[in-house]
Structure 1
Amino acid sequence: MQRKHAYAYVPYATGEAFDAYARTCGLTSKSELLKLLIGRELRLNRLKPGKQSRQPPSPNRTKITAHLSDELEAALAKRAAALGVSTSHATAQLVEGELSERWLEKSLTWEPSA
């Protein structure tokens, strides 16, 4: 099985915050967190269709890479196409959304009520 990649291009500060957040959650890399968020999105279909802005490459943006199986990459491409956006736009939305929502952090600290 050949490995594929998905890329999220985000502002540098967002990439740094995402990396710190991943480590806070016990992950060794932001790549693993992005892969987890992609899997979650493919199960829950939470992203909304939207317009994709064409931003020129910028030195203030950084690339977050997720290493995916062929199957996961194909599923992500299909999901992004259904939303009318590129896979990099969809993954950037996942990164920015998780920094706001902090789903993983809440999941890791959740305790059942007595």
Structure 2
Amino acid sequence: MSLLLNLLSGLMLVSGAILVVISGVGLLRFPDFYSRIQAAGMTDTLCMILILGGLMLRTDSLEVGAKLLFTLVFLFFTAPAASHALTKAARQCKLSPWRSDKEDESSQP
């Protein structure tokens, strides 16, 4: 049973780490603020579930497991709310989304 828990925990931790890297690449590659927020917001929730879940499987202490679970629940509700607040603030500041047809209009005389 211990081997199965270690394998499952390791798989969750590695999967979460890979998704964090993919999210970072999305932050660097996407053209505007809104698509970058989506790249970060969509993956960070799944990453934290995988990483904190993997850590919960590795712990021997009930107290540490409870703290990890509390952290997971807290982040599960606050991370999407933070992404929403950032997007709403950008819209209120009239930050327009990137469009590929803007380049065509600016290049014409």
* Between structures 1 and 2, the one with greater helix share: 2
| TM-score under structure 1 length normalisation | 0.27
Tell me the TM-score normalized by structure 2.
Answer: 0.28
With a CA cutoff of 8 Å and minimum separation of 6, indicate the structure with the bigger relative contact order. 1
- Which structure features the higher share of strand residues? 1
Which entry has the higher C-alpha Rg, 1 or 2? 2
